[in-house]
Chain A
Amino acid sequence: MMFIDPHAHMISRTTDDYEAMAASGVVAVIEPAFWVGQPRTHVGTYIDYLSAIIGFERFRAGQFGIRHYCTVGLNSKEANNASLAEAVMEILPRFALKEGVVAIGEIGYDEQTELEDKYFRLQLELAKELELPVMIHTPHRDKKRGTSRSMDVCEEHGMDPGKIIVDHNNEETVREVLDRGYWAAFSIYPSTKMGNARMVEILAGYGAERIMVDSACDWGISEPLGVAKTAKLALERGIPKDQVEMVCYKNALAAYGQSGQMHEDDWLNPTAIDQRTMYEGNSILRGGREPVVQESAVKKNANNLIIE
């Protein structure tokens, strides 16, 4: 089965992770622009970060046969640094039209401050102007109210819920997000977000429509095989295969494909120029070289099934 991980901060991960993801069936990842742990204090570092996720990280993923996409945006934490935020807003339009940028994101609330609110709204307007989907980061604290508020604000700005992916859902938020017509993403992230056994329960209860899972793997203790392991566990526990395919592949493609920057052909039938330049998987030009990813060489594997 092919998987898409629609939320993975690969810039913080190792090549072991890329190998393991490719071997587990991941064909594409989406890397949202986010907070890198250490606050940025200059717009220049922000520019270089965005350049890295649209450039070098894309190249790095391609070496493992994984197609790499990204989202650009000002994250909620750094929205609280007003002078940085202003400068980032100025450069965002330039990056939003780069190749492989599939959404504005991840944006939304952290502590739900006025500045967070201001830049969330400005970025919704930017997404509308550029006709891009939006990836919303829902807050860790005061999550339920923060999630509702995020959707209220989207509706105030006349956004189409069908182009908005609300991420980091849990049992408490999923009902409202689906009822209001948004895509509901779940981050299978140990300890702080969703576990995959809980995720399977949600799938059993809500079905697969407009639901997707991601790993949100980053610099913390996280699991780059979150999507593959969830799929495997869901199948084992009786979720129909077509539903597993929807939440682990098709829905992410449908939601972010609305950007016009992500097509199944990108990995199934890549253009000649892509094969020569940025994507070594499935390459007819590989010319007899051994495949980059060999199962036996992978140090991590998808048989270690449960994520707590």
Chain B
Amino acid sequence: MAQTKTEAAGLMSNKMHNKPLQLLNDWLSVRLSKEQLSWFDTQLDKISRSNSDRELHITLGMIPRKLDRADLYLTTRELTAADCLATGWHPQNWSIDIAARVAVICHLADHRPDRFNETLIDLCRNADLAESIALYSGLPLYPQNSGLDELIGEGLRTNIRSVFEAIAHHSPYPANHFDDNRWNHMVLKALFIDSRLAPIYGLDKRANPELARILCDYANERRAAGRPVTHELWRCVGPFAKGDMIDDLALAVNSDNHTEKQAALLALSAAPDSRAQTIITEHSVIANQIASGTLTWDAIQQQENTGKAA
């Protein structure tokens, strides 16, 4: 994969302070035994001294066997550090083997910057399920360059929800790198594979009129087929809703499902169309919740999570 000079220089400058690697090592060092850490250090060292990919493949393969597959259970402080390193990166679902595999890739950024993209693409091509999840989860931490675009496109085409979510959820990568077309199709695909929109970082910032139209079409297609429509999509429709879209939202407002009603009204509150305001005022209780700031998209998500737990 060809890289421009500037990109290659960007990769090189990373070498001086590989902050992602430092952070991941910090997390691992308080969770692994001395023996495990020493194995891992030895492997990283072998990788940097080796000319072939053999040690790299062995290390990535052995990580779940030698280390652990348990969750990291990051502390609030650690999660804050993650967000400081890459705003929007929320690795609360990461496991130890994911962190270690991503650390290996970050290590490669230092030791073979010229072949970084090529190596990562090859690893993804031959990855098992857990490896795919790990390699894609690390995207916000790798040297940022356009040479990985095709790889990420391939990853998003998967029907394996967990691999899709490794790219789309809790990561600033899509919001920072995708053009509107890729962004819109990612959001739409999330709906098609029963994934969630709320964990997509930058959902409000990247909302656009084209996506609003696509989502309304999708909602009408679902309704025509007698299938339920997730309330989450209205969030991306609201800011651009006018004309027929207001009618689409009005239908959702009249839903028997309380969450759908709340979501539709919340979306209408962001709509520039004057009809939106009229509809909201007909539902005074929810309108007051919106006005007072107690009903937000985060609140809806929390409400759902609590409902699920109960």
Contacts and interface: CB of A to CB of B under 8 A. Distances in A.
B129 A278 contact: yes
A277 B95 CA distance: 11
A272 B58 CA distance: 25
Contacts of A287: 308
A67 to B, nearest CB: 12
Contact of A277 (B65, B126, B127, B162): B162
A238 interface: no
Nearest to A47: B126
B126 A94 contact: yes
Interface string A78-102: 0000000000000000110111100
B61 A98 contact: yes
Chain B interface helix/strand/loop/mixed:
helix
A260 B61 CA distance: 13
Interface string A243-266: 000000000000000001000000
Nearest to B132: A55
A59 B160 contact: yes
Interface in B123-159: 125-133, 159
B133 A277 contact: yes
Contact of B71 (A56, A95, A273): A273
Nearest to B158: A56
Contact of A95 (B64, B126, B308): B126
B69 interface: yes
A238 to B, nearest CB: 42
Contacts of B70: 271-273
Contacts of A56: 159-160
Interface string A192-222: 0000000000000000000000000000000
Interface in A268-308: 271-274, 276-278, 287-288
Given A97-B57, A97-B62, A271 B129 contact: no
Contact of A273 (B69, B126, B128): B69
A49 B159 CA distance: 17
Could you say which interface size class chain B belongs to?
20 to 34
B93 interface: yes
B128 A100 contact: yes
Contacts of A124: none
Nearest to A287: B308
B129 A288 contact: no
Name, among A99, A278, A287, A288, the residue most crowded by chain B CB atoms within 10 Å (CB to CB): A99
Contacts of B65: 260
B74 to A, nearest CB: 13
Nearest to A97: B61
A281 B39 CA distance: 34
Interface string A89-131: 0000011011110000000000000000000000000000000
Interface in B74-108: 93, 95, 97-98
A289 to B, nearest CB: 9
Contacts of B130: 99, 273, 277-278
B126 to A, nearest CB: 6
A97 B159 CA distance: 24
A47 B124 CA distance: 13
A143 to B, nearest CB: 34
A98 B128 contact: yes
A51 interface: yes
Contacts of A47: 126
13 contacts: A51-B126, A54-B128, A56-B160, A94-B126, A98-B131, A99-B64, A260-B65, A271-B70, A271-B71, A273-B130, A277-B162, A278-B130, A287-B308
Given A47-B126, A97-B57, A99-B128, 18 more contacts: A51-B126, A51-B127, A54-B129, A56-B160, A58-B128, A59-B160, A97-B62, A100-B128, A271-B70, A271-B71, A271-B95, A272-B95, A273-B69, A273-B70, A273-B71, A273-B93, A273-B98, A276-B93
Interface of A: 47, 51, 54-56, 58-59, 94-95, 97-100, 260, 271-274, 276-278, 287-288
- 4 A-B pairs closest in CB distance: A97-B61, A277-B162, A98-B128, A287-B308
